[in-house]
Amino acid sequence: MASNNFIDYVKVCSRSGHGGAGSAHLHRDKKTAKGGPDGGDGGRGGHVILKGNAQLWTLLHLQYRKHVIAENGLNGGSSHSSGAQGNDEVLEVPLGTIARNAETGEVMCEITEDGQEIILTPGGRGGLGNAHFKSPTNQTPRYAQPGEEGIEEWVILELKLLADVGLVGFPNAGKSTLLSVVSAAKPKIANYAFTTLTPNLGVVAYRDYKSFVMADIPGIIEGASEGKGLGIRFLRHIERNSILLFMISCESPDIVEEYKVLLNELKTFNPELLDKKRLLAITKSDMLDEELEKEMRGTLPEDLPTVFISSITGKNLTQLKDMIWNALNS
């Protein structure tokens, strides 16, 4: 996916339709001079609806659509004729989309399943016609209900990618290379920092036709929570991951310190991220001999499952998949 086509945040004005007014009509024809009330109800205003679409991966199609306006309901008519309902406005969004009220920040709804429909902004109710108000003491009511007005509000749509495993690491740690080797994804790979500018998803094939989804987000650096590098904008995409796979290059002068820096940036963004299961992969380990690898392993946290891998030679990639699968199903 081209980086300039990945849109994960849009702000739209959502306006539902007004309800139609009820009719205050009194029946008249050439044979009936005073036939009584026969006013119909007004039609409901159209809803603005969010619908999940598994074929979408971005909010690009909504980037330049700032106003979403549903149709108004029509007024009621004579002979108990109800007004037509306003047409709903359906916005198809990728799975993992959250809608927030732009003013309060309150989460309004969340789309997680294909075909799931949620009313984002409900349309106004249609007014009752005067036929509803007749009674023995008021046989010719000459009034009816007006339609309820629709709602107009600014809504933020925010996409959080749905994946089982999120890759976390500094730039050039080998995250994109791993994703390209274990899945069919084709992320941009180059020997400079911040090659990855947008998140990438890949489906990783496992034993017996099983699979899991891996998400690669742009690299984090110390101070990202203060806006350095690419900041923490893309960290929202790992909030839903079951497992966080920390990836640190064996070339790092201090692996433990780098791991602590990454943890601190996650904690600053959202402390709940530290409650997720964590794994550690030491990348580019084809450059290490057994003695050096054993020495490095002794300096790593004992309670953190760790594997030394190489995406180029394929070293321990099967072991990494086994570790991820066991963590997902434990």
Residues annotated in the binding site for Mg(2+), as ranges?
176, 196
- Coil, strand or helix at 48: strand
DSSP 32: B
Residues within the annotated binding site?
169-176, 194-198, 216-219, 283-286, 310-312
Q: What angle do CA 105, 100, 18 make, to 5 degrees?
A: 115
For the chain, what is the radius of gyration of the CA atoms?
A: 29
Count CB-CB contacts under 10 A for residue 185. 18
Residues within the annotated binding site for GTP?
169-176, 194-198, 216-219, 283-286, 310-312
The answer for residues whose C-beta is within 8 angstroms of residue 3's C-beta and 6 or more apart is 188, 197, 198
Tokens 């909010």 belong to residue: 59
Count CB-CB contacts under 10 A for residue 186. 12
Taking alpha carbons only, the member of 45, 179, 159 closest to residue 99 is: 159
Torsions phi, psi for 269 (to 5 deg)? -75, -50
Distance of CA 115 to the CA centre of its chain: 14
Please state, in angstroms and rounded to a whole number, the distance separating the CA atoms of residues 248 and 256. 9
C-alpha distances in Å from residue 299, one per residue of 166, 247, 274: 24, 16, 21
C-alpha distances in Å from residue 116, one per residue of 62, 119, 273: 18, 10, 27
Distance of CA 29 to the CA centre of its chain: 58
Tokens 């402390």 belong to residue: 271
- Coil, strand or helix at 316: coil
Residue type, 133: F
